[in-house]
Structure 1
């Protein structure tokens, strides 16, 4: 197991090194400048689209704009917002949160470009059904010599979208908080089987069922989590300015935790991308299923994701952990349990119970959406006619993830996520002119 941990860590570190972070951060800055900050200037219109003012039920696609955003957010707004933030703070200190914010701000522009292309260049699978995603963008819009990038994305997506991280962290929470003295292997197996049944019930209903569940559960989760955070902030109101000051001061500290300034930046950007998926490409698959013939419209909806995901929910987690102070001496706690214990410090058993419910919703909705992403990658590689078999593999890995090391799981998924970003960002940069032209045409036809 120790060798496996070392290999997985080496893999993740090699992927999430300076070149990839430069690609994501530099690419996002390029999209913002190239578009003259167009996405940031149209948040009001984006909210109107998301609320259904421009839904077109007779146009191609499976989901409304709101359902597409909910499906995408159920994938991004997962345990990365709770467990991933805890891991980032322990590894990089408070300053890592600043760089997560930076990744979210540039991610707004990135998501606008990638998800506009996701609708603009939808393609048919071998059953003749319309599909979206970076692999279809590459196949439909780029010369044939770039097709290996589509294969690369799909192969990495099969690993990066497996539910092992989500089931691992939910099982870890239940073992630590509910069955601390039980046999961890047997407990993990039983928890994994229970989760597998729950996930199977939803995913065997297809994407529409996934979207309906996400639309119903996510608003409740976000409001509950915001409420808990506000209570924590009220309890520690005198300490809040100091926490924000530490985030900004440590963001440029050359002696920062996590290998100095560069190490902290790498941690913050990578965890931010892992959380909001801007530039990774998974969100393109969800938004590519939107029911619209206006690609720019879906790009505008998609750009709301990093704001809700990272700037709001991840910030809540960061503030709670930093106020509790347990990140400096985490002991045996890691990931989800570090966050839960931060709530336990001030809210007691009630805080643990509410966090348990939130974690259950987050992990479940994320696994539902990750199935869809993985299935699309599987269908692209092996054919949509046998894509239904992927459900059984996915359900099986829910059980597997509940009983393995968090380090191996997180590094494997994180590294694969990084590999997915390479073809996504390369294709988007090459086709950015198409998005700019489409945006100009859209706002000429739809002034407001």
Structure 2
């Protein structure tokens, strides 16, 4: 039995490394660059409008949809601001060194353009599920935008989505954090028993929310995410201030190592260590902000709006918050405290070591509080994504079957090895990105046309309000 388990683990790792090879890196990065150039950076010039839409200044009670712009962004951020920002950044630095963060930044900037296009499409091509409820997401974009003959691509996305959105990684890292930061130092219980107890507790908390549907999920995440972002940012700002003299050194190191790859410890790609570092940055950025994977369009496609451009602009804020801000702060905390070179931990443990180094005696508990909020809210968001994929394939009336399976896998994630879980999620995310980006690339002229039409109308309104003059 152990032989077959080892072979399965090895197969998952090889499959993840294979699919995240040059073709997929070119697809993810190339699509983002194409969207940025094709739109001529137009969405990037309207951050003020995006913030206004997010604040509800352009809401209409008669607009179709289920949740507000803020709730849609909260659901999307609940999935991305979590283990990807805390554990994923630590994994990237441990494997690739400071330079990996630079390539995560580049991927995030391109990911902003990707999210604008994919989430605008999610509103442009909404469809109705078997219960007649208006829904959005790559599967509906494919069927409604490209036609029924493309449905196999939508099915591909949903199968990969049901696997990729399982809570195993979040449950694994949550369990590791609670066990190593709180329980084991106190000598309360053994690692195996602790993992099982934590897993069962997480199952109960998640079940209480996910069986309530999107409304309950969106309300829970809208409460948890903003509060914990503030707590986390304040804590990391404190670490930065404590080590303020080190900031220029490590910001410089991030840039220089991005092209030197002096700390890269993985397999070379594209002919050398630099290629491997770029691949690592793209892979971890995808895990962090999920641009191009198709998860965010499922959340933003449910927003109450009749303007696709509005939701595209709001979605574009996601990579700014989760990667350019939160991931960078996590990286600086790990780098400036020196634990990336002296610590033996990986994933969430490495980040916990950084907090404890900055705030001896209680730093780990500050991080644990943030991890619990981020991780649990991620469990809520991913359940919605998985159930939406299941509903598309098997009908809205059977969605609780997936919800029960989803909750059950939390215990599996709590006791399983992180390596096999991370590779499984990476593999599933890669498979999700193909139908999402292929459909977005094909339909991109529609987005550009809608964007130009929207801003033309907006300009005409401005002229009218100015009495015919600008």
Rounded to whole Å, the distance in 1 between the matches of 2:249 and 2:8 is 40
Give the superposition deviation at 1:254.
5.3
Report deviation, 1:408: 0.8
Q: Deviations over 1:354-397 (max 9, x none)?
A: 11110000001111000000000111111112112221111101
Partners of 1:57 and 1:164 in 2: CA distance: 38
For residues 270-289 of structure 1, the C-alpha deviation after alignment (integer angstroms, 9 at most, x for no partner) is 11011101111000000000
In the TM superposition, 1:326-337 aligns within 5 A as 326-331=339-344, 333-337=345-349
Q: How many residues align?
A: 447
Shift of 1:59: 1.6
In structure 2, C-alpha distance between the alignment counterparts of 1:247 and 1:85, rounded to whole Å:
13
- Match for residue 131 of structure 1 among 135, 153, 161: 135
**1:61, 1:183 → 2: CA distance?**
48
Check conservation: 1:63, 1:291, Cα contact below 8 A: yes
The aligned residue for residue 213 of structure 2 is 206
Matched, 1:2 2:6: yes
Contact 1:39 1:108 in 2 (8 A): no
Q: Which one of 361, 364, 368 corresponds to residue 352 of structure 1?
A: 364
Partner of 1:396: 408
**Superposed CA offset, 1:174-196 (max 9, x none):** 11122325322221111000011
Identify the range of structure 1 (310-319 vs 202-211) with the bigger mean alpha-carbon deviation. Answer: 202-211
2:335 counterpart (297, 303, 322) = 322
Q: Which moved more, 1:289-298 or 1:181-190?
A: 181-190
1:370 to 363, 366, 382: 382
Alignment partner, residue 440 of structure 1: 452
Most deviating of 15-24 and 97-106: 15-24
Give the match for residue 338 of structure 1. Answer: 350
Q: Deviations 1:243-300 (Å, cap 9, x if unpaired)?
A: 0111000101155513310111011011101110111100000000001111111111
Q: What secondary structure, in the 3-state scheme, does the structure 2 residue paired with 1:159 have?
A: helix
Structure 2 gaps of 5+ residues are 463-470
**What is the root-mean-square deviation of aligned Cα atoms in Å?**
1.2
- Provide the TM-score with structure 2 as the length reference: 0.93
Cα distance in structure 1, aligned partners of 2:262 and 2:54: 43
Cα deviation code 1:70-113 (max 9, x no counterpart): 11111111110000000011111110000000011011111000
Gaps of 5+ in 1: none
- Residue aligning to 1:427: 439
- Alignment check: 8 A CA contact 2:142 2:150 kept: yes
* TM-score calculated relative to the size of structure 1: 0.98
Q: Partners of 1:329 and 1:143 in 2: how far apart?
A: 55
Distance 2:343 2:17 in 1: 22
Residue of structure 1 in register with 2:302 after alignment? 289
Deviation at 1:444, TM superposition (A): 1.5
3-state SS of paired residue (2:245): coil
Q: CA shift at 1:443, angstroms?
A: 1.0
Paired residue for 2:234? 227
In structure 1, the residue matched to 2:34 is 30
CA distance in 1, matches of 2:15, 2:340: 25
Once the 2 structures are TM-superposed, how far is the Cα of residue 217 of structure 1 from its aligned partner? 1.4
Q: Retained in 1: the 8 A contact 2:181–2:352?
A: no
In structure 2, distance between residues paired with 1:96 and 1:57 = 44
Structure 2 match to 1:75: 79
